[in-house]
Amino acid sequence: MLDKVKHVILVLSGKGGVGKSTVSTQLALALREAGLKVGLLDIDLCGPSVPYLLGLEGRDIYQCDEGWVPIYTDDSKSLAVMSIGFLLKNRNDPVIWRGPKKTMMIKQFLTDVKWDELDYLIIDTPPGTSDEHITVMECMREVRCDGAIIVTTPQGVALDDVRKEITFCKKTGIAILGIVENMSGFVCPHCTNCTNIFSSEGGVELAKMSGVPHLGTVPIDPRVSVLNGTTRSVLTELPDSGTAATFKQLVEKITA
C-alpha cells in the first residue's frame, strides 16, 4: 500500500556486491537525518542484506488484515523497514522460492506492506536484469516511482553492467535520477587520505556519455563498514568525510 507514500526511489545495480544495499541504507538514514519520514524496502532476493546492515536480523514480521507490518528502527517511527530477509531464518540461507512464487512474493512486498505516512520509500532491488528485476520494473509501472539511482563501481566490467541497466530503465520507462559511484577509492584508516585504486572518474565519464546525472562518489572507507549492524548514519558518525558529503548532496538533489 503506497497510498500514503509521497515519493518512491529505486536503487539498482547491474551486479551484486557493488554496495547497492549500503547506498540504499545510508540514503534512507540520511533522509531521516533531514527530518523526513522514510521507508526502506529490501526486495533483493539474491542477497537481502538490509536487516544485517541495520542490525535487525532475526526480527519477526507479521501480517495484519491490511498487509505486512514493517519494522520501525526506533520509537520515533521515522524509519520503517521491510525486507524479504525477515522471512529467512539465516542471512546465508538461499531463497528457495522459484518462478511464480518468487514473483508473487516480490509483488506482495511491493503492494501489501502497510506503510504509514512516508516522505520517501527507498527500494533496494535485486541486481541485474534478472526475472526478479523485470518483475520489479513491471510492478513499478503500476506504482508512481520518482526514478532510479544506479550504483556502480569504477571498474570497466561494472560500467558495462551499468550501460545495460540504463538501457533497461529506458526500455521500461523508469526515469534515471543518476549514478552513484561506490568504491571509487580507498580511505586509509590511519590518515584518512583517499587513494584512487581504480581508474578514477569512470562513473563521471559514463554519466556524461549516457546523458545521465552523476550523483556522487563514495570511496571504500573501513569506517563505513564499521557502521554495519547499526542504524547510525555516515552523516552523524563521519560528518567530515567525503562519504558524508556525498550523501548530504544526494539528499539535497533528491529533495530539491
Q: Which residues are annotated as a binding site for ATP?
A: 14-21
19 binds ligand ATP (CB under 6 A): yes
CB-nearer residue toward ligand SF4: 175 or 188: 188
Segment interacting with ligand ATP, rule: CB under 6 A, options 88-96, 136-144, 209-217, 219-227:
219-227
Measured CA to CA, the distance from residue 94 to residue 168 in angstroms comes to: 26
182 binds ligand ATP (CB under 6 A): yes
Measured CA to CA, the distance from residue 236 to residue 223 in angstroms comes to: 12
Closest separation in Å from C-beta 191 to ligand ATP: 17
Q: Find which of ligand ATP, ligand SF4, none residue 188 binds, CB within 5 to 8 Å per kind.
A: ligand SF4
Please, which of residues 150-189 interact with ligand SF4 by CB under 6 A? 188
Closest separation in Å from C-beta 166 to ligand SF4: 34
CB-nearer residue toward ligand ATP: 114 or 198: 198
Q: Of the candidates 127, 178, 185, 216, which one interacts with ligand ATP according to CB under 6 A?
A: 127
> With CB under 6 A, what is the number of residues at the site for ligand SF4?
4
96 binds ligand SF4 (CB under 6 A): no
Residues forming the site for ligand ATP (CB under 6 A): 13, 16-22, 44, 46-47, 49, 127, 182-183, 218, 220-221, 224-225, 228
Residues forming the site for ligand SF4 (CB under 6 A): 188, 190-191, 193
